[in-house]
Amino acid sequence: MDTVLKIEHISKTYTGHRALDDVSMEIPRGSIYGLLGPNGAGKTTLIRVVNRMILPDSGKVFFEDREITAEDIYRIGYMPEERGLYKKMKVGEQAIFFARMRGLSKFEAIKRLRKWFDRMELTEWWDRKVEDLSKGMAQKVQFIVTVAHEPKLLIFDEPFSGFDPINTNLLKDEILNLRDRGATIIFSTHNMESVEALCDNITLINKSRNVLSGSVGEIRRRAGGNTFRVVFSGEYDKFTRAISDKAELIGEPENLIGGYTQHKLHIKLDKDIRPVIGALNESVNLRSFQEIIPSMNDIFIRAVNGTL
Amino acid sequence: MSKINLILSREFTERVRKKSFIITTLLTPILMITLMAAPTLIMMLGKTSTKKVVVVDNSPERFVGRQLKSGSTVEFRLLDTGITAAEARAQYSNADRAYGILIIGSDILSNPGNLQLILNDASSMSVEESINGQIQDILRTERLSRYEIENIDRILADAGIRVNVQTLKNNVLAVDEDSMEATSTTMSWLLGLTLGMLLYFILIVYGQQVLQSVIDEKQTRVLDVIITSCTPFELMMGKILGIALVAALQIVIWAVLVIGVSSFVMPLLIDPASVQAISDPMMGSAISSFTDVGFLLSLFVQLLVFAVGGFLFYASMYAAIGSAVDTPQDAAQFNSIIMMPVILAIIVMMNIMNDPNSGLVFWCSMIPFTSPIVMMARIPFGIPAWQVIVSIIVLFISFFIMTWIAARIFRVGVFMHGKKPTWKDLAAWIKMK
């Protein structure tokens, strides 16, 4: 696998508190990677280790197959959860300042920033102070400041907090756009809908440890445990007889409007589902047959509670 | 452009553009000049009115009243014999007719206390001094003359001398005594006090700005954004140097304004003839200091060196504290420790007048915690150049050591949130690998 960032066995202890305990993960190039976990799980510490803001007690971070160095910092863009901009400084000047801090020349910085400001509909705010901006606009400025130097790796901490639905979509599109142009993106969030919509892979950290890793589709399917929902009309006895040796029923049948019955059933992972559908089709009037895939929200809660 | 440079120029331009900077920069020298010029102006304005005092003299043959001489301060008018004190008081009852009524007792020679001045207006020290002085002389002469010494008038005229010590700065290069600079202890002290207070102001006000700036960035989380594009050391140095540059700019503007006023405006205000007429050595020295451009220039250069050195030394401490805490309230405890040597310096500065070369003063002007303020207050007394140079060297070496320590606290402190650190924590951060 072509990885941009590889985190190997990172541990970090603050006075008396273990913030990270042997956490490892690999971020594939060109993917969007979700870093999930409840508050205080250690996500921010992990991001800070990657950013070289703090040194781990043990473990290593590799950036493009080399151990990460101070120079690599310019190829990482980081948007912290709690946004930081100088309130009294003019928006444009501030964006130029940060872009230059990340190695762009003044000329190049202005050129790129003008383009970004146009796209984010912020041009008329260029000469205004940050304190005059609305929260959403300040967030957009923060986003521009993070991406203007076109880093290979982007780290967003809760990128959608404080955005209205329209701007959330704008930002989602821009994030996908950045990925399509070759950037790798890590984002840390509690917003599970955005994880389902954007992330290819995730790692879930709970109590300083990595508890769940993998591709989003696979994790959801695995968490679903090959469970299906069947909706039919017809005799219930015929239904139970048809699947008796092929699947096991879960719970009780539910009666739906229009004379339909709904039932959950579980099929063993190594078994094919086609014989089940075939048998049901012959004995009852099959309305729908659908795999139950838990939402990331369910998975998050179950993983954190240890019931996954 | 290096990171330090970028941070420095951001700090500098943001601060210099502020209204508060422009206002303090322009107001302070106006205040300074007003303070300096005040004694001269007051003296000149005070000279305008001559007070009229009518004299009821009951002494034998009115010998006291007849000898009173009117001058620029008081004009005496001896009333005719027979007018009683009560009549005079009734007749000259308002300030337009007379400033006051002087009543001389009949036994004034044996009882010099029998002397009254009844005023229609606010009392004036210069009038009282003039009356006391003249009557004292008259009585002394009268008493001496009773001994019937030959040529008493000539003896008295000969003995009537006034002494006024002329303090000169010993300068081996001066050809003769006339070319040596006249100094006055009081004047040096006042000047030293002004410079010391100015330095105190720069250390504290600008030092606090460093503290505030670091805390602000920590609170607004700008720090998290910046720190991913530079090292903590670069950030700290950029900040300290940027604010130092603001302080330096302010001093240079003050120097230009003060020197400009003294070399172009003061000569127009002060008529040279009236300066020569001033017999008071303190006033003379004050005026000569403020019209001596070379003296002012050297003073400002030294001020600049000590202000920058002292600021850098204190600012690194402030930066370290700012990085370690979350709120200005948390900083207060550490802040008070920083303030202690500063307060000590102020106390020592107040005592410089007694002996600018005492052991305490000398050492306080060498130790970097107090040296910028104390040395600056000593300089107007004319101390050996080697002392100033050694003090500067010690100050700048200490600045490097302090910066190193501060940087070690800073690199850990900036990422610490939530808990207020103890002194033990700070020590641990310094030692941390």
Amino acid in the structure at residue A95? A
In whole angstroms, give the CA distance from residue B293 to residue A156.
60
Based on the domain organization, do B354 and B420 belong to the same domain?
yes
Q: Stretch A7-28: mean pLDDT, rounded? A: 88
CB contact under 8 A, A98 and B225: yes
Q: Tell me, letter by letter, the H, E, C secondary structure of B193-207.
A: HHHHHHHHHHHHHHH
* A3-215 is a CATH 3.40.50.300 domain: yes
Q: What is d(CA B240, CA B133) in angstroms, rounded to the nearest whole number?
A: 60
Same domain, B56 and B99: yes
B145 and B271 together in one domain: no
How much is the pLDDT for B130? 84
Fold topology of A225-305: Alpha-Beta Plaits (3.30.70)
Residue B323 lies in a domain: yes
pLDDT in tens, A244-299: 888 888 888 888 888 899 999 888 877 788 888 888 888 899 999 998 888 888 88
B147 and B246 in a single domain? The answer is no
Name the β-bridge partners of A255.
A261
CA dist A100 to A113, A114, A139, Å?
A: 11, 14, 20
- A24 or B294, greater pLDDT: A24
Give yes or no: residues B200 and B140 share one domain. Answer: no
The shortest CB-CB distance from A53 to any of B3, B7, B228 is to B228
Window B:396-425, CB contacts with A under 8 Å? 415
Whether B282 has a pLDDT exceeding 70, the answer reads no
Of A70, A84, A97, the CB nearest to B224: A84
Strand-pair partners of A12: A20
For A172-199, the pLDDT digits (tens) are 999 999 999 999 999 898 888 888 888 9
B223/A84 Cβ within 8 A = yes
pLDDT reported for residue B284: 57
**Alpha helix positions (H), A65-164:** 91-101, 106-119, 135-147
- The closest CB to that of A73, out of B7, B10, B229, belongs to B229
Q: Smallest Cα–Cα separation from B78: which of B95, B115, B110, B103? A: B103
The share of chain B scoring above pLDDT 90, in percent, equals 18
Residues B24 and B133 in one domain: no
Name the residue with higher pLDDT: A10 or B178.
A10
Mean pLDDT to the nearest integer, B393-404: 93
Nearest residue to A229 via CA among A279, A273, A276, A290: A290
The predicted pLDDT at position B191 comes to 79
pTM strictly above 0.90? no
Q: Would you state the pLDDT for residue A158? A: 85
pLDDT of residue B267: 66
Using the CB atoms, write b or e for B64-94: b if 16+ within 10 Å: bbeebeeeebbebebbeeeeebeebbeebee
> Is residue B280 assigned to a domain?
yes
Query: How many domains does one find in chain B?
Result: 2
Max mean pLDDT among B9-23, B109-123, B177-191 falls in: B9-23
Phi then psi dihedrals of residue B76, to 5 deg: -95, 140
CA dihedral sign, ordered B62, B67, B72, B73: negative
Task: Show residues of chain B in contact with A54, CB under 8 Å.
Answer: 415
Assigned token pair, B221: 């989380």
Q: Please, what's the largest Cα pairwise distance for chain B? A: 100
Do B223 and B274 have their domain in common? yes
| Residue B175 within a domain | no
Same domain, B17 and B124: no
Asked whether residue B221 is domain-assigned, the answer is: yes
For A:33-92, CB contacts with B below 8 A are: 48, 51-54, 70, 73-74, 76, 78, 80, 82-89
Q: Which residues of A touch B225 (CB under 8 A)?
A: 78, 80, 84-85, 98, 142, 145
* B392-400 average pLDDT score: 93
Q: Tell me the pLDDT band of A62, cut-offs 50, 70 and 90.
A: very high
The predicted structure's pLDDT at residue A61 = 92
Of A52, A73, A101, the CB nearest to B6: A101
Tell me the ipTM for this assembly. Answer: 0.74
Q: Are residues B101 and B85 in the same domain?
A: yes
Note whether residue B168 is domain-resident.
no
Together in a domain, B131 and B233: no
The Cα B199–Cα B306 span in angstroms is 8
Are residues B280 and B342 both part of a single domain?
Answer: yes
Per-residue model confidence as pLDDT tens digits over A103-161: 889 999 999 999 999 998 899 999 999 889 888 888 899 999 999 988 989 999 888 88
Same domain, B120 and B245: no
Residue B179 has pLDDT above 80, yes or no: no
Q: Does B426 contact A at CB distance below 8 Å?
A: no
Average pLDDT for A11-24: 86
pLDDT, residue A82, reads 75
pLDDT, position A237: 87
Q: Which of A39-48, A171-180, B241-250 has the weakest average pLDDT?
A: A39-48
Query: What tens digit of pLDDT does each residue of B324-378 get?
Result: 888 888 888 888 888 899 999 988 888 887 788 888 889 999 999 999 999 988 8
Interface check B10 vs A, CB under 8 A: yes
Question: Residue B278: is its pLDDT beyond 60?
Answer: no
Q: What is the pLDDT of residues B46-81, one digit of tens each?
A: 555 778 888 988 888 888 888 888 887 788 888 888
Domain boundaries, chain A: 3-215, 225-305
Domain boundary among B128, B159, B190: B159
Q: Do B230 and A101 touch (CB under 8 A)?
A: yes
**CA gyration radius for chain B?**
31
Domain limits for position B114: 50-159
Place of tokens 């005719």: B80
Q: Report which of residues B431 and A21 the model is more confident about.
A: A21
Residue B102 has pLDDT above 60, yes or no: yes
- Dihedral-angle region of residue B64 (phi above 0 means left; psi in -120 to 50 means alpha; beta otherwise): alpha
Q: Give the whole-angstrom CA distance, residue B189 versus residue A9.
A: 67
Is pLDDT of B167 > 70?
no
Q: Which spans in chain A are helix H? A: 43-50, 91-101, 106-119, 135-147, 165-180, 192-198, 216-224, 236-243, 274-283, 296-305
Of B69-73, B257-261, B277-281, the poorest mean pLDDT is in B277-281
pLDDT grade for B178, boundaries at 50, 70 and 90: low
